[in-house]
Amino acid sequence: MRRIFTQALCLIACFIVNVQLSNAQCVAGSGQWPSGTVTLDAAGNVNNITTCNYADEYSHLTGVTSGETYEFTSLTATDFLTLRDGIDASSAVLASGVTPISWTATSGADIYLHVHADAACTDDGSICRTTTNQCTSCVPPPPPANDLCGDAIALNTGSSGGSGGTTSIAGTTTNATTTDQPLECGTTATAAGGVWYAVTVDDQLDAVFSLCGSTYDTKIFVYSGGVCGSLVCHDGNDDACSLQSEVTITAADLQGSFFNAPKDTESRSPVASKVAYVYVAGFSTNTGDFTLTVTQAPLPVKIGELRGEVMSDYNMIYWSTLAEINNDQQIVERFNEKTNQWIEVGRVNGEINSTEEKFYEMMDRTPTLESMYRIHSIDIDGYEEFSDVIVLKRDDLTGVTIAPNPFDHSTVMTITSDIDAPNRTINVYDIKGSLMKSVRLDIQAGVNNYDLDFSELESGIYIVQYDTGVTMKSFRVVKH
């Protein structure tokens, strides 16, 4: 009886060993996925092998480092993984078991991960599972030196006062983190790490920030503000040039609106150079090497001086150019506050190419009491640039009288002006403030007499208002 029992135990043990050996030698028979090789993680990160592994498939893994320990995982918790040095049953089993499994490399040879639904090497059909790898013994390499905004690498285009310039630098986002990743700007935020640059630009010129020709699928983001953590979005881009990125920031955007200057500023000096913060990253999780190039093409016209002079009944605008490149037209423009638009005063032909100082002047015969002027330059290709702004103020010498007052049917408003003042308005209100009539006038320099007809209005007291363009002058009149 003892002998029979012993033999039975032996048979059971042998069966268990055979099952274990069978399990330890699972071989995928449905082919390779992904179709290409997958490089193992070397930085201690969890990297996907594939997001859709079927049971009974294997993956070809490369980039093994001898002496490092690797962990392989299927996100299907019951999957059975077999790590081999080949693809068929004759290959050696390096490690096996229910996910996850761990293995320490003894050479740098490629390996193959065979995936099954269970320890019986089951193929469960077309059910996707994600498989991953991680080097658990690897020390992550340090990120690039400019991984953080506070460590942004300083660059300078070298342009000053519209002279033009360019700067270029090679960089990488490999091993970059998302620690200082900024908010979305012009394009969606990225899951890939990025690096920072602080680029000093000339705000008299458009600035082009380009990653064109880089080696991977890039994204670029451009900010201002000067303080990391409080940056202001200007623009961003994903695929301006194939899979690479490019952003153009105009000089007007770099300068900001001149309305930021005090209203009584007599002239506006060139704004100091600005610092643009550039964040280079990648689409999705893409990282790699790139070249950042920042270009500022020279202005078609370099203005030397812009000034004005108030004359008796007109304004004179004087300006000079220190250089002109392909310059076609120079236009003097005055700002119209009512329409919030720049209007043309006049234009002169430019010099196609000149490196000598040239002098110009323009008369404005219809100035306002406070006139803002700028020079609008257009080159032969249609490229436009704008000068700084000057402000000229005139005294309000407009005199207004109404006589006779009281009157029977009409009276005369006399307006004395030192300038032409087109499109002025006279409004008549009753004593309750209701508008009774409105008259539009074109005032000429000198004395202007206008008959105000009240014949259709009832007897009573009225308020007459005249808008001089700067102040509102009001008169109380009585109709008999």
Domains present along the chain, CATH in parentheses: 2-135 (2.60.120), 149-296 (2.60.120.380), 301-393 (2.60.40.2060), 399-479 (2.60.40.1930)
Confidence at 395, pLDDT banded by 50, 70, 90: low
pLDDT of residue 18: 41
Q: What is the DSSP letter of 267?
A: B
Residue 35's pLDDT is 94
Whether residue 17 is predicted with pLDDT greater than 60 in this model: the reply is: no
pLDDT tens by residue, 287-303: 999 999 999 877 667 78
**What confidence tens digit (pLDDT) does each residue in 331-370 have?**
999 998 888 899 999 999 887 777 788 899 999 988 887 8
Q: Return the higher-pLDDT residue of 473 and 277.
A: 277
- Predicted confidence at residue 255, as pLDDT, reads 61
More confident residue, 262 or 380: 380
Residue 401 clears pLDDT 70, i.e. is over it: yes
pLDDT at 68 > cutoff 60: yes
Residues 175-231: pLDDT tens digits?
A: 999 999 888 898 887 888 999 999 988 877 789 999 999 999 999 999 987 788 888
| DSSP H or E segment with residue 18 | helix 2-23
pLDDT tier, 119 (very low <50, low <70, confident <90, very high otherwise): very high
Where helices occur in 289-334 by DSSP H, the ranges are none
Residue with tokens 């990653």: 211
Q: At residue 8, does pLDDT exceed 90? A: no
Quote the pLDDT of residue 312.
64
Does residue 392 register a pLDDT over 60? yes
User: Could you tell me what percent of the chain has a pLDDT over 70?
Assistant: 88
Paired tokens of 354 = 């000149």
Closest CA to 294 of 306, 270, 277, 307: 277
Rounded mean pLDDT, 398-416: 89
Q: Between residues 449 and 272, which one has the greater pLDDT?
A: 449
Q: In angstroms, rounded to a whole number, what is the distance separating the alpha carbons of residues 393 and 114?
A: 85
Give the pLDDT score at 1. Answer: 39
Q: Would you state the pLDDT for residue 398?
A: 66
The per-residue pLDDT for 259 is 24
Strand positions, DSSP E, 25-79:
38-39, 47-53, 57-62, 69-74
**pLDDT recorded at residue 375:** 92
Check residue 469 and give its pLDDT.
Answer: 66
Residue type at 241? C
Mean pLDDT across the chain = 85
Count CB neighbours of 223 within 10 A: 23
pLDDT band of residue 2 (cuts 50, 70, 90) is very low
Tens of pLDDT along 238-289? 999 999 999 998 776 776 532 233 333 333 333 345 889 999 999 988 999 9
pLDDT, tens digit, for every residue of 139-182? 888 999 999 999 999 999 988 766 788 999 999 999 999 999 88
Q: Which is more confident, 22 or 434?
A: 434
Please, which pLDDT band fits residue 444 given cuts at 50, 70 and 90? confident
Determine if the peptide bond prior to 406 is cis (ω within 30°): yes
Cα–Cα distances in Å, from 91 out to 35, 70, 85? 20, 19, 6
pLDDT (0 to 100) of residue 42: 87
Q: What is the pLDDT confidence band of residue 51, given thresholds at 50, 70 and 90?
A: very high
pLDDT tens sequence across 416-443: 887 778 888 899 999 888 999 999 888 8
- Tell me what pLDDT residue 33 has: 95
Q: What DSSP designation does 388 have?
A: -
**Calpha distance 337→334 (Å, rounded):** 10
Between the alpha carbon of residue 159 and those of residues 205, 211, 256, 281, the distances in Å are 9, 20, 19, 26
Rounded to two decimals, what is the model's pTM? 0.49
Q: Which residues pair with 46 in a beta bridge?
A: none
Strands 370-379 and 327-336: antiparallel
